Amino acid sequence: MPARQQALEHWGVVLVAINHAVQWYCEIALRPKTNGCDDWIARISQPLQRAFELLPVQSRLYSMCSNMIGRLRGTLAEKNPPQILLDVGGVGYELEVPMSTFYNLPATGQPVTLHTHMAVREDGHFLYGFGSEDERVAFRQLLKISGIGARTALAVLSGLSVTELAQVVASQEPGRLTKVPGIGKKTAERLLLELRDKLPKALPAAHAHAASAAAGAQSDIANALLALGYNDKEAQAAMKQLPADIGVSDGIRAALKLLSKV
């Protein structure tokens, strides 16, 4: 990388860090002591923000700064799906969370810890919260796919658990993904293709669990067919035509339908 570009990126990160430090210091240390805190923030942070916007390497800086806030622990102040407000030491952080995280949140007024992803864009700074590290890893993997933004990534994790996503990726079946709002067949197929090699490496435990669950379901379906009087050859022939991530009850119904046509 050219020395000039390295220098610009370095100073861009410094500007963002100073901006955050100024706002944090004012909120924590000065606000209880002075009524002019908001004006002081504006006088300091606005020139920093303008200087940052003038840098010609913003896109790389946004990526570099996206991990500045990695975890928040505080009191759950408000719940307005998909947004929540987290009170951390008197400072309120607005976060967007997938519904998988939202449903597992405690009642308002209770303590909670969330893994976070911070996105720095031209129109502002945005925080996304996740109940588990695996959810955040999956979210970040989705963001790396061209055409998949934060809203779509949150929708995927709202419709599928991390394990279910791993199962869908392992089976390369786009049908489950097309049920997610905003994802059509072509997008689903591209998403599965790009995640096929990346997701198992990023989430080995979830991938192993998905593979184990799929194998268990396949075994249960085969045993059910044998118990109903079909021989092993007929059962295996039907099994080959079933999606790899299909559930036991759905798999039995689909297999019986296939066998009835033979």
Quote the pLDDT of residue 77.
Answer: 96
The full set of domain ranges for the chain reads: 3-61, 71-130, 207-260
Quote the pLDDT of residue 49.
Answer: 53
CA 219 to chain centre: 31
pTM: 0.59
pLDDT tens, position by position, for the chain (262 residues)? 566 555 545 555 555 555 555 554 444 444 444 444 545 544 555 555 555 455 444 444 444 444 568 899 999 999 999 999 999 999 999 999 999 999 999 999 999 999 999 887 777 889 999 999 989 999 999 998 888 889 999 999 999 888 888 888 887 778 888 888 888 889 999 988 888 888 877 675 554 544 555 555 666 777 777 787 878 777 777 777 777 666 667 777 877 887 777 5
CA–CA dist 176, 161 (Å, integer):
12
Pairing of strands 83-88, 71-80: antiparallel
CA–CA dist 101, 138 (Å, integer):
13
Q: What is the CATH number of domain 207-260?
A: 1.10.8
Amino acid type, 147: G
Of residues 137, 156, 116, the one with CA closest to residue 202:
137
| Total Cβ atoms within 10 A of residue 84 | 23
Give the list of residues 6+ apart from residue 91 with CB closer than 8 angstroms, or none.
24, 27, 28
Quote the pLDDT of residue 38.
Answer: 46
Quote the pLDDT of residue 93.
Answer: 93
Quote the pLDDT of residue 17.
Answer: 56
CATH entry, 71-130, from 3.90.550.10, 1.10.3720.10, 2.40.50.140, 3.30.1300.10: 2.40.50.140
Quote the pLDDT of residue 230.
Answer: 79
Quote the pLDDT of residue 21.
Answer: 56
Under 8 Å between Cβ of 143 and 199: no
CA–CA dist 25, 30 (Å, integer):
7
